[in-house]
Structure 1
Amino acid sequence: MENCKPKIYNSYDSHILEALFLKYGVSKYYIRKCLAGNAQGIKPDSIKKDYLIMEKKIKETISKLIE
């Protein structure tokens, strides 16, 4: 029992998932699978890259609003 670790679930920004859903036309399940690294190929790489770009832009916008 001491070695049991709780499973950690990743949470992704729902607004970014919606934008990627509209851009790529794939299911949100597939997008989450790509972000988790469970899908291989060119499209999952593009989805990961776009997610990171969008997440960075959102954080920059929020930090500007706070200042």
Structure 2
Amino acid sequence: MGKSKTKIYKSYDSNILEALFLKYKVSKYYIRQCINGSVQGIKPDNIKKDYVIMERANRNLVENLIKKTLE
């Protein structure tokens, strides 16, 4: 029996990927590379910054909805 090799893949929010796809008109694969940091440049930096902003806003929205439903 050999050693089991399992790679843990990072998952990205598909709604945010779709929004970035519509905004920048580049492939979702390229967007994931930008977020991961394997592509360098100004445009990838902007894509990564936008992803972080959208992810934070999405997380805050969900937290607020959870708080409202628990009241």
Query: By how many angstroms is 1:16 displaced?
Result: 0.1
- Which 4+ runs in 1 deviate beyond 3 A? none
> For the pair shown, which has the larger CA radius of gyration, 1 or 2?
2
Q: TM-score, normalised by structure 2?
A: 0.85
Query: By how many angstroms is 1:46 displaced?
Result: 0.4
Query: By how many angstroms is 1:19 displaced?
Result: 0.2
For 1:59, the equivalent position in structure 2 comes to 59
For 1:32, the equivalent position in structure 2 comes to 32
Structure 2 unmatched runs, 5+: none
After superposition, the C-alpha distances for 1:4-44 in whole angstroms (9 at most, x for unaligned) are: 65212110000000000000000001001111111010001
Matched residue count? 66
Work out the CA distance in 1 between the residues paired with 2:9 and 2:18.
Answer: 19
For 1:46, the equivalent position in structure 2 comes to 46
Q: Provide the alpha-carbon RMSD of the alignment.
A: 1.2
Secondary structure of the residue aligned to 1:15 is: helix
